[in-house]
Amino acid sequence: MSSLNLDDFTDLIERPDGGVRRDAEARRERQIVPPGSLGRLDDLGEWLAAAQGAVPVRPVEQPRVVLFAGDHGVAELGVSARPAGSAAELAREVLEGGRPVSVLARRLGVPVRVVDMALDCDPGTLPEDVVRHRVRRGSGRIDIEDALTAEEAEAAFRAGVAVADEEADSGTDLVVLGDVSVGGTTAAGVLVAALCGTDASVVTGRGGLAIDDLAWMRKCAAIRDALRRARPVLGDQLQLLATVGGADLAAMTGFLLQSAVRKMPVILDGVVVAACALVAQRIAFRAPDWWLAGHNSGEPGQAKALDRMALEPLLDHGVKVGEGAGALLALPLVQAAAALAAELPEQEEPEKADSVTEEQAEVGETE
């Protein structure tokens, strides 16, 4: 296999088409309600048109929820309200249809794909298409050891790239990206703090099921210790993901970059995805042009990361269950924006209106 050169993504990722964006704006000028009167939906419609390279913007017809799943060794420290190793259980519940994302996805008619990168369970207990990309069973305890070997990090990153290609090739026209992870918000906190040059207390939140003060202090200490291990490798993003990320995070970073290469828009979910997006931005500065921030989860590290990428969350309802649920809530808004941009009628031709006025003026003169 050829060696992975992350710098290639800088050249491979183009900007959304500026000419198409101007065409979308021009069309918007001609529609029956003044441009801007639909607020952020106007921006959204024009952004989507540019991403698609199409005016009028096409409806989002084949969206998909893609969830990368993994357990994190750091959960053994009691930094999560869930028991270490229990992401496998969550993933199974997502597939069986009993999680919040399952309910919302059914309601919206959107398929959910779960990709196991490092769940802590016997791979034989999950469907083959779910475990196919797994690189190991549980990622390492990042406060004292690397999450992954360099080889595992590369394999996980490549798996994410492959999944993005599979989605783009099968006609997926928008992805809602989320994670199913236990201990994942601790790893995310480390990545955000490391890349934003801030310290543990600024990025440490209460996680999915809110943790108590003691657990918060343990999480803060774990992030502080892992940050010390992250700083020496800050210049090498793949090594950073190996040192303090995890297989699911490495895969999501690859997925985000390849989605941008393939011009497939992505709605980002919570702090874990935001942290991966920040790593991806470091690799290719244009990549965030292809993403939307679905929602503000209330986790401090997420806000910090989104701010760095100048992404403004579409919704703000304090949804912190992860698993793409908050981001999926934003999908109908994006679809509404696309429908308005495509279907609102254009005004009568201004020339016609002018000529009527001239005729009336002439009539006025002769009378």
Ligand X SMILES: O=C(O)c1ccc[n+]([C@@H]2O[C@H](COP(=O)([O-])O)[C@@H](O)[C@H]2O)c1
Ligand Y SMILES: Cc1cc2nc[nH]c2cc1C
Contact residues toward ligand X (CB under 6 A) are 80, 82, 179-186, 207-208, 269-272, 297, 299, 302, 320-323
**From the list ligand X, ligand Y, none, partner contacted by residue 185 (C-beta under 5 to 8 A by kind):** ligand X
> Which of 233, 333 has the CB closer to ligand Y?
333
> CB atoms < 10 A from the CB of 179, how many?
28
Distance separating alpha carbons of residues 78 and 86, to the nearest angstrom: 13
Q: Does 195 bind ligand Y (CB under 6 A)?
A: no
Q: Does 291 bind ligand Y (CB under 6 A)?
A: yes
* Of residues 66, 63, 32, 33, the one with CA closest to residue 48: 63
> Which of 9, 291 has the CB closer to ligand X?
291
Query: Tokens at residue 181, please?
Result: 């992870």
> Which of 57, 222 has the CB closer to ligand X?
222
Instruction: Work out how close the CB of 291 gets to ligand Y at its nearest, in angstroms, rounded to a whole number.
Output: 6
* Of residues 115, 123, 18, 108, the one with CA closest to residue 70: 115
Coil/strand/helix, residue 65: strand
Of 178, 183, 246, 288, the one binding ligand Y (CB under 6 A) is 288
> Which of 57, 203 has the CB closer to ligand X?
203
Q: Which of 312, 323, 346, 351 is catalytic?
A: 323
Distance separating alpha carbons of residues 171 and 342, to the nearest angstrom: 20
> Which of 120, 323 has the CB closer to ligand X?
323
Distance separating alpha carbons of residues 158 and 285, to the nearest angstrom: 19
- Is residue 367 part of the annotated active site? The answer reads no
**From the list ligand Y, ligand X, none, partner contacted by residue 44 (C-beta under 5 to 8 A by kind):** ligand Y
Strand pairing report for 112-118 and 174-182 = unpaired
DSSP-derived secondary structure for 302-315: HHHHHHHTT---SB
Element (H, E) at 329: helix 325-343
**From the list ligand X, ligand Y, none, partner contacted by residue 291 (C-beta under 5 to 8 A by kind):** ligand Y
Instruction: Work out how close the CB of 23 gets to ligand X at its nearest, in angstroms, rounded to a whole number.
Output: 35
> Which of 16, 288 has the CB closer to ligand X?
288
**From the list ligand X, ligand Y, none, partner contacted by residue 43 (C-beta under 5 to 8 A by kind):** ligand Y
Q: Which residues, 307 to 346, sit near ligand Y by CB under 6 A?
A: 311
* Of residues 97, 98, 275, 101, the one with CA closest to residue 180: 101
Those residues whose C-beta lies under 8 Å from the C-beta of residue 91, and which sit 6 or more positions away, are: 67, 69, 114, 116, 119, 126, 130, 180
Instruction: Work out how close the CB of 268 gets to ligand Y at its nearest, in angstroms, rounded to a whole number.
Output: 10
Q: Which amino acid is at 242?
A: A
Q: Which residues, 33 to 72, sit near ligand Y by CB under 6 A?
A: 43-44, 47
Contacting range for ligand Y; rule: CB under 6 A; set: 69-77, 221-229, 274-282, 284-292: 284-292
**From the list ligand X, ligand Y, none, partner contacted by residue 186 (C-beta under 5 to 8 A by kind):** ligand X
Those residues whose C-beta lies under 8 Å from the C-beta of residue 7, and which sit 6 or more positions away, are: 283
Q: Does 289 bind ligand Y (CB under 6 A)?
A: yes
**Residues near ligand Y, by CB under 6 A:** 43-44, 47, 288-289, 291-292, 311
Residues labelled as active-site residues: 323
